Structure 1
Amino acid sequence: MAERKFFNKKTDAAVTGLLLLAAAGFALFYWLRPQGDNPTAVISVDGAVVREIDLTKAADGRFSLTDRPVSFEISGGRIRFVDVDCPDHICENTGFVSRPGESAVCMPNKTALQIRAGAAGR
């Protein structure tokens, strides 16, 4: 009995091409999506919002939360965790976030940082 081939070079090339096209489409959708009028950093502790910052108007600098050993840095319309008092520092390694949908979380300090589109002033 002859051995049956399930794929051939043409089929392999077509499947590979479709996968690359899908990946490129996803990347374009992610990078070219609208960022909103005023990306806003929303900081919450234990699920309660403690501060909202319009990143288009915020001055560069650092600030801390009063009841947690957590500090943030704003630079060029971006924000990140810095000087966090926790054992793993994963939130610091996340780096800057600035696009709606991006987030960083410090689990030991129960502090979350989310970027939302146009959340300020609502």
Structure 2
Amino acid sequence: MTFLQKHRKDLLFTAVLLVLAGVLFRFTHPGGAGTVAVLRYGDPQTEQIIDLTKDARYDIDTGVYTIHLQVAEGGIAFVDSPCPDHTCEGFGVLRNVGDWAACLPAQASLTIEESP
């Protein structure tokens, strides 16, 4: 009898527990809870921390364009972009750690990070 045959039930039980732990983690750590948006723009680079727990609109002059950011329901998005291609709007709403968007014409990037 092979190892897999001997421990099939144990391995299945462990896999189910890992999946449940992942689901539980996902529901107990949604975007906005313990996360912030970090906006970096300009030359020299300016960094601005944006609270994701308070719905708000931000109009920020990057020195090239004035970008418009909307915070709602624990997420943030580029909205009403003045740049020529509006690519930054296509990133949608960012809410999870590691989510990233940029408006290259405005020399701005937005990243979701753990709260300091």
Q: 2:38 aligns with which of 17, 42, 51?
A: 42
The offset of 1:49, in angstroms, is: 3.5
The offset of 1:35, in angstroms, is: 5.9
TM-score (norm 1): 0.62
- The corresponding residue for 1:69 is 66
The offset of 1:54, in angstroms, is: 2.5
- Which AA in structure 2 matches 1:61? A
Aligned residues between the structures: 90
The offset of 1:95, in angstroms, is: 0.6
Structure 1: segments with no counterpart, 5+ residues: 1-24
Structure 2: segments with no counterpart, 5+ residues: 1-18
SS at structure 2 position matched to 1:100 = coil
The offset of 1:62, in angstroms, is: 1.4
Change (3 A) 1:42 1:76: same
Bigger CA radius of gyration = 1
Q: Is 2:92 the counterpart of 1:95?
A: yes
Q: Which has the higher helix share?
A: 2
* Superposition RMSD in Å: 2.6
Output one character per residue of 1:6-49: Cα deviation in whole Å (capped at 9) or x when no partner. xxxxxxxxxxxxxxxxxxx9xx69x9496685101000103724
Change (3 A) 1:93 1:100: same
TM-score (norm 2): 0.65
